[in-house]
């Protein structure tokens, strides 16, 4: 989304989301919730989407009580009708859609030989097909209104493999690939598509591994910063990729991992 910032652009304008409408999937989760808060505080009206009613109501109430424009929308990414309907409702409610954050994802940790077709299909339908269809629906609206921003949330598994996370890992590898494919196809429509790759962040999704002593020790041993990341630490990268500041950045992934992929703790 290009914005004429004038001859002396202010930092405020570079990073402002004033007047923008943002849709966030997985908005009730550990990271999505923080992204909702951050985008709202940067000026966007936010459509918070999640399959989990309880967390959705909670986050929507919190933002509305702080005076932000926020709507909560039940969304099941594994259901195409629900995906297209949710985008239609956001358009109906706010009159436009400028930003899509594809944040929802599910994981089930088990050895490849134990993965059933049901598990495989569930993970792919949410993490990959849901993200794909969400982006299709959003990009159609963005094209009509002259541009937009899509930020996909990847994973360290977009870059490397981990034992017992084969299907999740495959979907996250695909998210990075799709980020580039969408960026190419929609560049002429002024839609920038980028990816943020979180490292080991402390949230409900990753709680089981942080609570496991062996795995927790393994992770700390690989994080140069020697601590888990907090969801808030992803916010700067996400806001940058949603804001005018990144108008010439597309098809890229920003890794926010405390130094894991840079070499970890080294010796
Ligand atoms: N936590 C980490 O360490 C970590 C690391 C790398 C990447 N990520 C990525 O960050 C994103 C957010 O992860 P998180 O840690 O906040 O997870 P989380 O489990 O806390 O949140 C995920 C949210 O997605 C929602 N969701 C699940 N299925 C859905 C569906 N069918 N339709 C709509 N919403 C659905 C859940 O209800 C939940 O609120 C994910 O894409 C995840 O892969 C997380």
Residues 186-225: tens digit of each pLDDT: 999 999 999 999 999 999 888 888 999 998 999 989 999 9
Q: Is 240 a catalytic residue?
A: no
- Average pLDDT in the chain: 95
Flag whether 7 is in a domain: no
Flag whether 9 is in a domain: no
Mean pLDDT of 155-174: 97
Residue 3 reports pLDDT greater than 70: no
Flag whether 244 is in a domain: yes
Flag whether 260 is in a domain: no
Mean pLDDT of 174-187: 98
Cα 142 to middle of ligand 1, angstroms: 24
Q: Which of 23, 29, 49, 84 to mutate to test the pocket of ligand 1 (most atoms within 8 A of CB)?
A: 29
Flag whether 169 is in a domain: yes
Q: How many domains does the chain have?
A: 1
Q: What are the DSSP calls for 110-168, one per residue? A: --GGG--HHHHHHHHIIIIIIHHHHHHHHHHHHHHHT-EEEEEE--GGGTS--TT-HHH
Mean pLDDT of 123-139: 98
Query: Which structural domain, as residue segments, surrounds residue 165?
Result: 17-255
Helix, strand or coil, per DSSP, at residue 28: coil
Domain with 172 in it: what CATH number? 3.40.50.720
Residue 2 reports pLDDT greater than 70: no
Q: Is the CB of 175 under 6 A from ligand 1?
A: no
Flag whether 102 is in a domain: yes
Can you tell me which atom of ligand 1 is nearest the CA of 153? 41
Residue 6 reports pLDDT greater than 80: no
Flag whether 54 is in a domain: yes
pLDDT of residue 55: 96
Dump pLDDT digits (tens) for 64-93: 999 999 999 999 999 999 999 999 999 999
pLDDT of residue 4: 66
Q: pLDDT above 70 covers what percent of the chain?
A: 98
Contact criterion met (CB below 8 Å) for 232 and 39: no
State the pTM of this model: 0.97
Higher pLDDT, 266 or 28: 28
Flag whether 11 is in a domain: no
């Amino acid at each position: 989304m290009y914005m004429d910032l004038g001859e002396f652009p202010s930092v405020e304008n570079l990073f402002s989301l004033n007047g923008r409408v943002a849709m966030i999937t997985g908005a009730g989760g550990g990271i999505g919730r923080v992204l909702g808060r951050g985008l709202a505080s940067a000026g966007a009206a936010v459509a918070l989407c999640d399959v989990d009613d309880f967390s959705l109501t909670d986050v929507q109430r919190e933002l509305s009580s702080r005076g932000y424009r926020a709507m909560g929308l039940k969304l099941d990414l594994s259901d195409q009708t629900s995906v297209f309907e949710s985008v239609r409702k956001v358009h109906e409610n706010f009159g436009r859609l400028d930003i899509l954050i594809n944040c929802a994802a599910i994981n089930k940790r088990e050895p490849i030989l134990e993965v059933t077709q049901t598990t495989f299909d569930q993970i792919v339908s949410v993490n990959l097909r849901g993200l794909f269809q969400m982006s299709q629906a959003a990009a159609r609206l963005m094209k009509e209104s002259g541009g937009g921003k899509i930020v996909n949330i990847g994973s360290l598994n977009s870059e490397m493999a981990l034992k017992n996370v084969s299907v999740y890992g495959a979907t996250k590898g695909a998210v990075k690939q799709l980020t580039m494919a969408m960026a190419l196809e929609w560049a002429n429509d002024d839609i920038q598509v980028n990816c943020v790759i979180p490292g080991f962040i402390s949230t409900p999704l990753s709680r089981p591994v942080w609570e496991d002593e062996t795995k927790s020790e393994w992770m700390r041993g690989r994080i140069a910063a020697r601590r888990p990341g907090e969801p808030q630490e992803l916010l700067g990268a996400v806001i940058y990729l949603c804001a005018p500041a990144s108008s010439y950045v597309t098809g890229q992934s920003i890794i926010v991992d405390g130094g894991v992929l840079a070499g970890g703790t080294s010796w």
